[in-house]
Amino acid sequence: MKLMQFKVMTFDVVGTLIDFESGVLNAVRALGGEKAAKATDDEIFEPYKRGRDKFYGRSSFAMKDVYLSLANEVGLRNDNATAEAFQLAVLRWPAFADSIEALARLRKNFRLVAMTNADRTAFSAYSDTLGNPFHDSVTCDETGCAKPNPQFFAFNKGRQTAFGFKQSEILHVAQSQYHDIGVASELGYTTCWIERRQGQQGFGGTPEPKAVTKPDFHFSSLKQLADAVDAELAGTVATATAA
């Protein structure tokens, strides 16, 4: 199987392109007080995930409640001003160091489509952070649901079909086994796992899947994916020159 056989790359955004784990950790430690500054990653991520489960609404509004849930559970600063500051910080989560350059390279050869559980407001902020690389985008506002719900994928499949692309021409690229790789594989998509936490224990700020699904392609960074595409292209050029 070759990467260049695909015409569309669909991307999970938060966790794959946007480093939400660093964003969460930095904001909690900066805002939550002395106890937060000393907390381990897991001491922050576990109550964060429980809070997100309780407050699963639009990310541009619900994250202040997620923070208050975390703060009340762990005993951190829990006033409304701190929660509002955490909410604002969510819109400023950083891109991974390789995301912008790799997406710019991939855009030269593929239609890039964002498939994100973020709402349209939050996605607009993330897209701007990434340099607005996408040809198309689908958020939870349009689908009315969030991944791993198969209806999210069904919505995008219909949308891309309207633009003339078949499911077999789509490569789904994501970090989350729970939200993306498992369900996409079950639905018959070719998948590319960007294992951002390779070499680290646990699943960090992402829910743990029931099982780890073997993807069709597997890289630890987006740069590696872009490099693999470039290597295929170089091989094609070399073959054509030799012929």
- Is 227 among the catalytic positions? no
Q: What is the DSSP string of 172-214?
A: EEES-IIIIIHHHHHTT-EEEEE-TTTTSSS-TTSPPPSSPPP
CB-based contacts of 185, cutoff 8 Å, min separation 6: 191, 213, 215
Q: What does residue 12 show for φ and ψ, rounded to 5 degrees?
A: -65, 145
Q: Nearest 5°: phi and psi at 25?
A: -60, -45
CA 237 distance to own-chain centroid: 32
Active-site positions read 12
